Amino acid sequence: MSWLCCRQGRRRSPNHDKTLPALIKRPKAETIPFRHHRETPHTMQNSQIGFIGGGNMARSLVGGLLKNGWTAANLTISEPDDFNASLLRKLDPALKLTRDNRLVAENADVVLFAIKPQIFAEVVEPLRETLQRQRPLLISIAAGVTINSIDRWSGGGLPIVRCMPNTPALVESGATGLFANAAVDDGQRAIAESLLRAVGLAVWLDEESLIDTVTALSGSGPAYFFLLMEALQDAASAQGLPADTAKLLALQTAFGAAKLALESDTDFATLRQRVTSRGGTTEAALNVFEQQGLRDTVTAAVEAAANRSRELAELFAGDNHSESS
CATH code: domain of residue 173: 3.40.50.720
Q: Which residues contact 264 (CB under 8 A, 6 or more apart)?
A: 31, 271
What is the predicted pLDDT for the residue at 24? Answer: 39
Question: How would you classify the pairing of strands 200-204 and 3-5?
Answer: antiparallel
- The whole domain housing 89 covers 3-209
Determine, yes or no, domain membership for 321: no
Q: Decide: 98 and 76 in contact? Cβ < 8 Å.
A: yes
Report pLDDT digits (tens) over 144-191.
Answer: 999 999 999 999 999 999 999 999 999 999 999 999 999 999 999 999
Determine, yes or no, domain membership for 276: no
**Percentage of residues in the chain having pLDDT higher than 70:** 84
Give 312 or 19, the one with higher predicted confidence. Answer: 312
Neighbours of 75 (CB within 10 A): 24
Residue 36 has pLDDT above 50, yes or no: no
Average pLDDT over residues 302-318: 92
DSSP 194-242: HHHHTTEEEEE-S-TTHHHHHIIIIITHHHHHHHHHHHHHHHHHHTT--
Determine, yes or no, domain membership for 177: yes
What is the predicted pLDDT for the residue at 5? Answer: 53
Determine, yes or no, domain membership for 263: no
Report pLDDT digits (tens) over 74-102.
Answer: 999 999 999 999 999 999 999 999 999 99
Determine, yes or no, domain membership for 256: no
Q: What are residue 3's DSSP bridge partners?
A: 204
User: Is pTM beyond 0.75 here?
Assistant: yes
Residue 7 has pLDDT above 80, yes or no: no
Determine, yes or no, domain membership for 194: yes
What is the predicted pLDDT for the residue at 17? Answer: 40
Q: Decide: 239 and 250 in contact? Cβ < 8 Å.
A: no
Average pLDDT over residues 268-276: 97
Q: Of the candidates 54, 35, 44, 197, which has an alpha carbon nearest to the alpha carbon of residue 112?
A: 54
Give 15 or 150, the one with higher predicted confidence. Answer: 150
H helical segments located in the chain = 42-45, 56-67, 82-91, 101-106, 120-124, 128-134, 147-153, 186-197, 210-214, 221-238, 243-262, 268-275, 281-291, 294-319
How far apart CA 236 and CA 285 sit, in angstroms, is 13
Give 162 or 14, the one with higher predicted confidence. Answer: 162
Average pLDDT over residues 45-54: 92
Residue 283 has pLDDT above 70, yes or no: yes
How far apart CA 48 and CA 56 sit, in angstroms, is 21
Give 119 or 320, the one with higher predicted confidence. Answer: 119
Number of domains within the chain: 1
Determine, yes or no, domain membership for 199: yes
